[in-house]
Structure 1
Amino acid sequence: MQGHRDQVTDTAYEKRREEIAALSADVTLHGPIPVVEYIDWEHEVWRLACAALDARHRVDAAAEYLESAEALAIPLDHVPQLRDVSDRLTSISGFRLQSAATLVPLKEFCGSLANSVFRSTQYIRHPRAPLYSEDPDMLHDLVGHGNVLANDRFVRLYRLAGEAANRVESDEALQFIGKVFWFTLECGVVRERGERKAYGATLVSSYGELDHFRGAEFRPLSIESLVDVKYDITTYQPLLFEADSMNEVEDLVGSFWDTCDDDSIAALFSGASRSVGTRR
């Protein structure tokens, strides 16, 4: 397992991922973050992916993302310890990281956000595909989410998303809050000086997404337009929603999360149904 990444078999990768996940299996929200002794191929994947992303960020990432990433200063030449990044993040914005064995259920994930905690994995993506991962790994969690959580605007939005998820009771409302999160904080795009720039974590943490996102179908960001939209998290995104500025993102999305409840979200779905029913 210490060897070159090309020599890591699928079986060896799955075993290594399970080993790292097991370290966080019993970690509580306020417990200590486990230390992971990363090995050669994991550092190699991290260096390769971060070097490629760093070059793309200068062209494709939004200004506020770049400023926040510079403030957090995640190492690019080796896999950092999650607890070290968490300590630095807390000193900057008050948000902290906590380890997770695997993808956290939406309600639990958002509940943590309401308490200024982001649940991060600690394993690294498959070495066969260092520039793209179908499911979140630590590179996605830190380069995508961790970097923006050093920014006060994003901190407010993440907390509001968590508070909204805690407030609703129906699964329909929870899933819609998650959908708004997906098309903004995961896959959000904003215009800067007439150019499209990525700020969502899924986009900025994936070289493949950054290579493809300008070819997507773009629609203006609005909460109502998301009601009937479907999405697949395991593929490059064919449809993205863009805002004219980060102020617009905060106004639209922040206001929605700050005030939404089961009734208001149900009304959105009811309005969409009436619109479809009266279409000629």
Structure 2
Amino acid sequence: MFTEAQLYSPVTRSGTGDVTVHLSDEHPGVHDPDYRARRNAIAAQALDYTPGKPVPRVDYTAEEQQVWRIVSAELARKHRKYACAEVLAASERLALPQDRIPQLDEVSAALTPLTGFSYVPAAGLVPLREFFGSFADRIFHSTQYIRHHSAPLYTPEPDTVHEVIGHANQIASPRFAAIYETVGAAVARLGTEAALKFLADVFWFSMEFGVVRERGEIRCYGAGLLSSYGEIEEFRHADLRPLDVVAMGTATYDITHYQPVLYCAESVSEIEDVIGTFFATMDDDTPLRAAARSR
């Protein structure tokens, strides 16, 4: 299983139709019955969504909106300081609201004219083949819930902050959106779980936690960094290594801690050349060739 999948709280539906999001014992909202009820209701809406139908809207509470305002303002400041120019320009064009949580249909309305991508709801974890494969059609599966109000600058799982402030600002760049589409096309060629995991791990170290050198400084473009208040301050202290898809696809890493090793591109053009070309050419034998090369 792709390692990031461990971050999502499992979602189940009972025989009577009741939907339950199973929060971990360490989750900030696990002992808040109102928050748990909200999570269940939002997940139920996503599970009931049918492609082609209107995307369900969430009637966010004042408390949830306040969480968004806090996180959005803080991350905007961090982006100006640490995000790469490509992301900053894309973010300016996308112009997400900072004073309220955008509905997914609003995100799509702003994003589609820029890169053709649209957002659809996800209750939680989407199977890897479906999640990555949908990129070929320029579709992004996004959660709609938001983190618990007691810890607005922290979440143990991907929420709408990660999906929208992280990924949408990245996908608003035509150059990065093209790489996403190439990922989707690659999934259609892959038949083995080993190859799918290899793809997912390269995606993790690039589109989730990628960094790039600009004018002598290290900037981030990965959605996981763009959406993390804590880690966006720490990535410059990581062990920065050159882009190497074999190392990225075979690395062992812990998703519960700040990443100690990151792979740094020298430019966005290098990301396109190395990462984009890899996704465009990988196949089921890629893990085997990588293992042979690493011996």
Indicate whether the TM-score tops 0.5.
yes
Shift in Å, 1:120? 0.5
Aligned position for 2:233: 211
Q: 1:14 to 1:225 in 2, by over 3 A?
A: same
Q: Does 1:103 align with 2:125?
A: yes
- Match of 1:135, SS state, is coil
CA distance in 2, matches of 1:263, 1:148: 30
The residue identity in structure 2 corresponding to 1:63 is A
Shift in Å, 1:92? 1.9
Q: CA RMSD in A?
A: 1.6
Aligned residue among 256, 259, 267 for 2:278: 256
Alignment of 1:106-255 (within 5 A): 106-255=128-277
| TM-score in terms of structure 2 length | 0.87
Shift in Å, 1:232? 2.4
Shift in Å, 1:171? 0.6
Deviation digits for residues 146-189 of structure 1 (CA, Å, limit 9, x no counterpart): 11212110111001111112211111100000001000000000
Q: 1:42 to 1:92 in 2, by over 3 A?
A: same
- Match of 1:102, SS state, is coil
Shift in Å, 1:247? 0.5
Q: 1:263 to 1:50 in 2, by over 3 A?
A: same
CA distance in 2, matches of 1:201, 1:30: 27
Aligned position for 2:65: 43
Shift in Å, 1:244? 0.5
**Conserved in 2, the CA contact under 8 Å of 1:189 and 1:200?**
yes
| TM-score in terms of structure 1 length | 0.92
Shift in Å, 1:260? 0.7
**Conserved in 2, the CA contact under 8 Å of 1:110 and 1:166?**
no
CA distance in 1, matches of 2:226, 2:116: 23
**Number of residues of Structure 1 aligned to a counterpart in Structure 2:** 268
- Match of 2:285, SS state, is helix
Aligned position for 1:57: 79
CA distance in 2, matches of 1:159, 1:140: 20
The residue identity in structure 1 corresponding to 2:234 is H
Q: Does 1:80 align with 2:139?
A: no
The residue identity in structure 1 corresponding to 2:92 is E
Shift in Å, 1:80? 1.3
The residue identity in structure 2 corresponding to 1:246 is V
Aligned position for 1:10: 32
**Conserved in 1, the CA contact under 8 Å of 2:170 and 2:222?**
no
- Match of 1:262, SS state, is coil
Aligned position for 1:3: none
Q: 1:220 to 1:28 in 2, by over 3 A?
A: same
Deviation digits for residues 45-98 of structure 1 (CA, Å, limit 9, x no counterpart): 000001110111111000000000111111001111111111121122211111
Deviation digits for residues 91-142 of structure 1 (CA, Å, limit 9, x no counterpart): 2221111111112121110111111100011000122221122211111001
Shift in Å, 1:270? 2.5
- Match of 1:207, SS state, is coil
**Conserved in 2, the CA contact under 8 Å of 1:61 and 1:204?**
yes
Segments of structure 1 that go 5 or more residues without pairing to the other structure are 1-5, 276-280
Q: Does 1:67 align with 2:94?
A: no
CA distance in 2, matches of 1:197, 1:132: 21
Shift in Å, 1:15? 1.8
The percentage of aligned residue pairs carrying the same residue is: 47
**Conserved in 2, the CA contact under 8 Å of 1:110 and 1:161?**
yes
